[in-house]
Amino acid sequence: MAVRIGSRNTPVPFEWHDAATWKAALDGMRAAYLCYSPDLAFPGVPELMGRFAGAAADAGVQRLVLLSGRGEDGARAAEDAVRACGLEWTVLRCSWFAQNFSEHFLLGPVRRGRLLLPGDGAVAEPFLDLDDFADVASDALTGESHVGQVLELTGPRLLTLREVAR
């Protein structure tokens, strides 16, 4: 199965805010996995998702799989835009990724020994391992059992922010 990665630094560059890059990124693809950065809840993103879904349909894409945030009410309008696109769709609503601490924006604070997080430390989150998420995302892209579903994905247990910091 042919896979094309699309971001600002890939051989076929893809930029969310430059629609001229979309066609080449979508060309020949049957399904697309959508990860909007920095945040699906930002103003204008639902409209952007609607335009992108239209471009995907024009390019012959049959299915969209959208990464979204669990408990993020602000992301719902962007989810709705993808769900209304007329293509097959799956929404993957994820809790916080464990890899935020080891590969992403919290790695620097971890290394410096000081984590500033919302809440009083007793707040708990079912952190999700990205390898587990990738299994579900690839099923959604290639299988038939998740079409038309919103899946709430979490890790297997709650960890308080204090436990995570420790």
State the minimum distance, in angstroms, from the CB of residue 3 to ligand NAP: 15
Sort 5 into a burial class: Cβ within 10 Å, 0-12 / 13-18 / 19+. Answer: exposed
SS3 state at 73: helix
Region near ligand NAP per CB under 6 A, out of 97-105, 118-126, 144-152, 157-165? 97-105
Residues in region 100-159 near ligand NAP by CB under 6 A: 100, 104
- Nearer CB in complex with ligand NAP: 14/147: 14
CB of 69 to ligand NAP, least distance (A): 4
The DSSP code for 147 is T
Strands (E), the chain: 31-34, 63-69, 88-94, 124-125, 149-153, 159-160
The answer to whether residues 33 and 139 touch, using CB atoms and an 8 Å cutoff, is no
Shortest gap between Cβ of 42 and ligand NAP (angstroms)? 9
Nearer to ligand NAP, 89 or 97 (CB): 97
Q: How far is the CB of 73 from ligand NAP (least distance, A)?
A: 12
Pick out residues in 19-78 that bind ligand NAP (CB under 6 A).
35-40, 67, 69
Contact 92, 65 (CB under 8 A): yes
